[in-house]
Structure 1
Amino acid sequence: MTKVRVAVIGCGSIAERRHIPEYAEHPNVELVAFADPIIERAEGYAKRFDAKAYSDYKELLAAGGFDAVSVCTPNIFHAEMSIAAANAGAHVLVEKPMAVSEEEAQAMIDAAKKNNVYLMVGHNQRLMPPHVKAKEVLQTGKLGRVLTFRTAFSHGGPEFWSIDGKESWFFRKNEAIMGAMGDLGVHKSDMIRWLLDDEVVDVSAFIGTLDKKDTDVDDNAICLLRMKSGAIGTLVASWTAYRGEDNGTYLWCENGIMKIGTDPDDQVIVELRDGTVEKYRVGAISTNDKQEVSGVVDAFIESIVTNTPPSISGEEGKKSLSVILSAFQSQADNKTISL
């Protein structure tokens, strides 16, 4: 089988920990080019994989020789670079949030369609084994309707994760545009939409910068969501969980409760009203402290090789982004926003 030739734009932490190692381990991938404004980062990977290095992504795209591109850059550049890659004839895997506005997201979708390439967004939460198992259990119907829920994604912040630590672009609003909500909240809006097979129709949110210094991007958010089905719940995103991460979800249903990612051993726990308890050990949810294979790269390459549109499409990414943008609007206008 001819290998998929992949170029990576942006050689920071998400590329270092997820994209590059997962491409490197994939039997159907050849890493052919890297771009980063800090050229030494690109050169390091280029030397390792016998590839080419560029300081300017436009030079990489102009040079060609690739089939697919990963966009692993600050949020503000996602749309610009993804559209340019699509116009260069490449399939695109872009990190979340896919864009910083709905208009940008739509332009990315349109560019992919115009160039007959795939656009996939790196929402790995829906690929994590506990979430996959949880959806399987929900679809059996044993729990009945989901009535209320709580889903959270909290850790200590980008200074413990980013390649640049406290100097990270995550804290520069002109590059990040949004903080914990763009980093973590959008993951959970995507996950809960997918898990419940439902759409958010109303959002009320409190979003603020509570503890991070020298930045005006948000470090905490609590959102109240109403789903099309009528279910209501909370979505929490936080960069100030300084002891331990929280990536847990609780679903309170007609016939019992489901706990996902709340126990280190039993990743999915179902407690039914009749006293029955079911526990599933299906593999962990990836965290900053403990990296797991995201599944995103495998799914992206599978789409290309089999010529099958990705399930985590640009359209899906846009819907999940719209929830987060509505939350910011709710905070700014001090009212509930209907999507």
Structure 2
Amino acid sequence: MNKIKVAVFGCGAIAQRRHIPEYAENQHVELVAFADPNLERAQEMVELYGGKAYASYEEILANEDIDAVSVCTPNYLHAPMTIAAANAGKHVLVEKPMACSIEEAEQMIEAAHKNNVYLMVGHNQRLMPPHVKAKEILDSGKLGKVLTFRTSFGHPGPEAWSVDGADSWFFRKEEAIMGAMGDLGVHKSDFIRYLLNDEVADVASFIGTLHKEGTEVDDNATCLLRMKSGAIGTLVASWTQYKGGDNSTILWCENGVMKIGTVEGNEVIVELTDGTVETYQVGMMSTNEKQVPSGVIDAFVESITTNTPPTISGEEGLRAVKVILGAFESQKTGRVVQL
């Protein structure tokens, strides 16, 4: 079978630490090109993985014979790059948040459909082993109906993660559009929908910049969600968890509680009302400090090789973005926003 020829747009942290090494390890993939406005950064990737370096994605689309691209760039570029690649007949894996507006996301989805290519969004939280296990347990029905929940994602901020440190695009509003909510909150809005197999009906939120100086993007958000099923809960996104960062979810259900990622070592704990306690050690969550394979690249490649539409589709990405944009609207208006 011919290998899938892949190009990567943007050679920052997410590309260097997840996309590129995971493509390199996938036997079905040949990495052929890297684009970054900082050409040296693209050339460093070529030295490690082969292929060619370009200063712009347009040059790759004009000059290289490729099948698929990963879009690993600042948020404001996700839509134009995705649409250009789809219009050139390439499958696209785009980082989250897939877009900065509903219109952009819809245009991306339309471009993929029109050109008969796949569009997948990098919502890796669905694929983390504890989250996969939690979904399986919840779907089994043993816990009954989910009544209330909390889901949280926090770390010390992108300055520790980004290749540009404190000078990162993450802090520039015109490039990032949104801060912790676009970085972490959107992961959790996708995950809670997926886990509960439910949609967010209403959102109310407090979003602000509490501690990151010199930036206009949000560094903290606490949101109240009501799902269509009636379940209510909170969603937290934070860039100021300088100690004790969090990627946990707790579901209080009719027949007990499920705790995901609350205790290192026991990644999923189920405590039933009959006194039974079950603990599942199924593998770690990936963190900025400890990278484990995200699963996203392999899932994208499998979609292409088996000709199966990705489950984390553009439509799914759009639903996650709608929740985030609703939260920003709530912060702005001081009202509960119906989605």
Report the equivalent of 1:107: 107
The answer to whether residue 57 in structure 2 is matched with residue 57 in structure 1 is yes
1:206 correspondence with 2:206 = yes
Cα distance in 1 for residues equivalent to 2:223 and 2:49: 43
Question: Structure 2: how far apart are the matches of 1:47 and 1:17?
Answer: 15
2:92 is equivalent to residue 116 of structure 1: no
Q: Which residue of 2 aligns with 1:87?
A: 87
1: CA distance, partners of 2:296 / 2:140: 26
Deviations 1:227-264 (A, max 9, x none): 00000000000000001320000000001100000111
Tell me the SS of whatever aligns to 2:284.
coil
Give the counterpart letter for 1:192 in structure 2: I
Whole-Å Cα distance in 1 between the matches of residues 169 and 300 of structure 2?
Answer: 26
Q: 1:74, 1:247 → 2: CA distance?
A: 23
Deviation at 1:141, TM superposition (A): 1.0
Give the Å deviation of 1:194.
0.2
**What secondary structure sits across from 2:163 in the alignment?**
coil
Tell me, what secondary structure is at the counterpart of 1:184?
helix
1:251 and 2:251 are equivalent in the alignment: yes
Q: Aligned residue for 1:303?
A: 303
3-state SS of the aligned residue for 2:247? coil
Shift of residue 289 of structure 1? 1.6
What is the deviation of 1:64? Answer: 2.7
Of stretches 298-307 and 62-71 in structure 1, the one that deviates more from structure 2 is: 62-71
Q: Whole-Å Cα distance in 2 between the matches of residues 290 and 325 of structure 1?
A: 30
SS of aligned partner of 1:299: helix
Amino acid at match of 2:319: K
Structure 1 position 47, deviation (Å): 2.8
Q: Residues of 2 paired with 1:77 and 1:148: CA distance?
A: 36
Aligned residue identity for 1:267 = E
Q: CA deviation at 1:50?
A: 2.4
Secondary structure at 1:234 match in 2: strand
SS at match of 1:324: helix
- Aligned partner letter, 1:300: F
Q: Which aligned runs of 4 or more in structure 1 are off by greater than 3 angstroms?
A: none
User: Structure 1 CA distance, aligned partners of 2:212 and 2:335?
Assistant: 26
Q: Which residue of 2 aligns with 1:233?
A: 233
Distance 1:49 1:184 in 2: 29
Indicate the residue corresponding to 1:158 in structure 2: 158
1: CA distance, partners of 2:33 / 2:20: 11
Give the TM-score taking structure 1 as reference length. Answer: 0.99
Separation of aligned partners in 1, 2:246 and 2:170: 20
| Separation of aligned partners in 2, 1:234 and 1:55 | 42
Q: Secondary structure at the match of 2:264?
A: coil
Aligned to 1:280: 280
Q: Find out whether 1:293 has 2:280 as its counterpart.
A: no
* 1:292 positional shift: 1.0
Deviation string for 1:275-306 (max 9, x for gaps)? 10000010111111211100000000000000
Q: Secondary structure at the match of 1:247?
A: strand
Partner residue, 2:219: 219
| Identity across the alignment (%) | 71
Contact 1:34/1:42 (CA < 8 Å) preserved in 2? Answer: yes
Letter in 2 for 1:326: G
Q: Any idea what SS the aligned residue of 1:78 has? A: helix
Q: Distance in 1 between matches of 2:50 and 2:129?
A: 34
Structure 2 counterpart of 1:19: 19
How does 1:105-184 map onto structure 2 within 5 Å? Answer: 105-184=105-184
Tell me the number of residue pairs that the alignment of Structure 1 and Structure 2 aligns: 339
1:184-217 CA distance string (max 9 Å, x none) = 0000000000000000000000000000010010
Structure 1 counterpart of 2:34: 34
**RMSD over aligned Cα, in angstroms?**
0.6
Unpaired segments ≥5 residues, structure 2: none
* 1:334 equivalent in structure 2: 334
Counterpart Cα distance in 1 of 2:254 and 2:25 = 43
Partner of 2:191: 191
Please, what TM-score do these two structures have when normalized by structure 2?
Answer: 0.99
**Mapped partners of 1:56, 1:213: distance in 2:** 31
Task: Tell me the SS of whatever aligns to 2:201.
Answer: strand
CA contact (8 A) 1:78 1:99 kept: yes
Structure 1 residues without counterparts, runs of 5 or longer: none
Q: Say which SS state the counterpart of residue 106 (structure 2) adopts.
A: helix
CA distance in 2, matches of 1:21, 1:256: 40
Question: 8 Å contact 1:245–1:287 — kept in the other structure?
Answer: no
Q: Please give the alpha-carbon distance, in whole angstroms, between the structure 1 residues aligned to 2:65 and 2:244.
A: 43
Task: Tell me the residue number matched to 1:318.
Answer: 318
